[in-house]
Amino acid sequence: NISSPICSGSRSSKTFKPKKNIPEGSHQYELLKHAEATLGSGNLRMAVMLPEGEDLNEWVAVNTVDFFNQINMLYGTITDFCTEESCPVMSAGPKYEYHWADGTNIKKPIKCSAPKYIDYLMTWVQDQLDDETLFPSKIGVPFPKNFMSVAKTILKRLFRVYAHIYHQHFDPVIQLQEEAHLNTSFKHFIFFVQEFNLIDRRELAPLQELIEKLTSKDR
């Protein structure tokens, strides 16, 4: 009875979540290209604004997928440093600890290690993004009435991965020379959630000082 690598609990044996692709040629793909082009200009405040004549739900959907992919990639580079031993709880500094619940499979919040929490979190987000009734990829298919509240929950949870990386794994980020990449990604994320008021200020508290530092230059 050979145990399969999936059951062995070793994270390094499995690659992290697959990238979620936006279908080429679709309107959402065009929106993503627009976002990338304005990001290239270096003005993040401009880059997050709703393009003229576009649907807010669709703009939030495209950017949520993009942030999922970015955080996925950033976290993927430091998974060797984020282990059951190094991070027995999911935290963002000594004052903030997160317990996992998704409301369906796990209703009562459970205390778990950071790698397990982030695995739950990213799997949960991926499931939401893959749900065509929540994130329709076909043109003309309407977004559900509760789309914004779903998007807000996704972004609130993705923020926790940034918070964990900054608080617990910033040294390896510097060693890997990813500091600028992480800061730009996070700054883009913050400008986006601020522009559309998507995350409650209380939720952002673990990184409040950093947020003020990163955003004050661009007032």
* CATH assignment at residue 171: 1.20.140.30
- Is residue 23 assigned to a domain? no
List the structure tokens of 156. Answer: 């609130």
Q: Total structural domains in the chain?
A: 1
Residue at 111: amino acid letter: K
Q: Can you tell me the mean pLDDT for 122-149? A: 92
Q: Which residue has the higher pLDDT, 215 or 200?
A: 200
Query: In the prediction, which pLDDT does 68 show?
Result: 96
- Is residue 13 assigned to a domain? no
List the structure tokens of 36. Answer: 């990338």
Q: Can you tell me the mean pLDDT for 185-204? A: 96
Average pLDDT score, the chain? 86
CB atoms within 10 A of CB 76: 13
- Is residue 32 assigned to a domain? no
Name the 3-class secondary structure at 212. helix
Query: In the prediction, which pLDDT does 151 show?
Result: 97
DSSP state of 71: H
Residue 191 has pLDDT above 90, yes or no: yes
Query: In the prediction, which pLDDT does 214 show?
Result: 86
Q: Can you tell me the mean pLDDT for 126-147? A: 91
Q: Can you tell me the mean pLDDT for 93-109? A: 91
Range scoring the smallest mean pLDDT among 6-20, 54-68, 107-121: 6-20
Pairing of strands 97-98, 90-91: antiparallel
- Is residue 110 assigned to a domain? yes
Distances (CA, A) of 215 to 2, 43, 115: 52, 12, 29
Nearest to 94 by CA among 13, 164, 20: 164
- Between CA 187 and CA 194, with CA 191 as vertex, the angle to 5 degrees is 135
**Percent of the chain at pLDDT exceeding 70:** 88
How far apart are alpha carbons 154 and 128 in whole angstroms?
8
- What's this model's pTM, rounded to 2 decimal places? 0.86
How far apart are alpha carbons 215 and 164 in whole angstroms?
20
Q: Can you tell me the mean pLDDT for 77-90? A: 96
Query: In the prediction, which pLDDT does 10 show?
Result: 38
Dump pLDDT digits (tens) for 29-56: 788 777 777 666 668 888 899 999 999 9
- Is residue 89 assigned to a domain? yes
Q: Which residue has the higher pLDDT, 15 or 180?
A: 180
- Is residue 58 assigned to a domain? no
Was 112 annotated as part of a binding site? no
In the chain, beta strands by DSSP E: 90-91, 97-98
β-partners of residue 110 are 100
Name the 3-class secondary structure at 95. coil
- Is residue 22 assigned to a domain? no
Are 193 and 63 in contact by the 8 Å Cβ rule? The answer is no
- Is residue 47 assigned to a domain? no
Query: In the prediction, which pLDDT does 18 show?
Result: 63
Q: What is the chain's alpha carbon radius of gyration, rounded to the nearest angstrom? A: 18
Distances (CA, A) of 188 to 105, 127, 165, 181: 32, 24, 16, 11
Would you give the distance in Å from CA 3 to the centre of its chain?
Answer: 32
Residue 4 has pLDDT above 50, yes or no: no
β-partners of residue 91 are 97
Range of the domain at 145: 66-214
**Percent of the chain at pLDDT exceeding 90:** 69
Residue at 197: amino acid letter: N
Q: Which residue has the higher pLDDT, 135 or 13?
A: 135
Query: In the prediction, which pLDDT does 218 show?
Result: 56
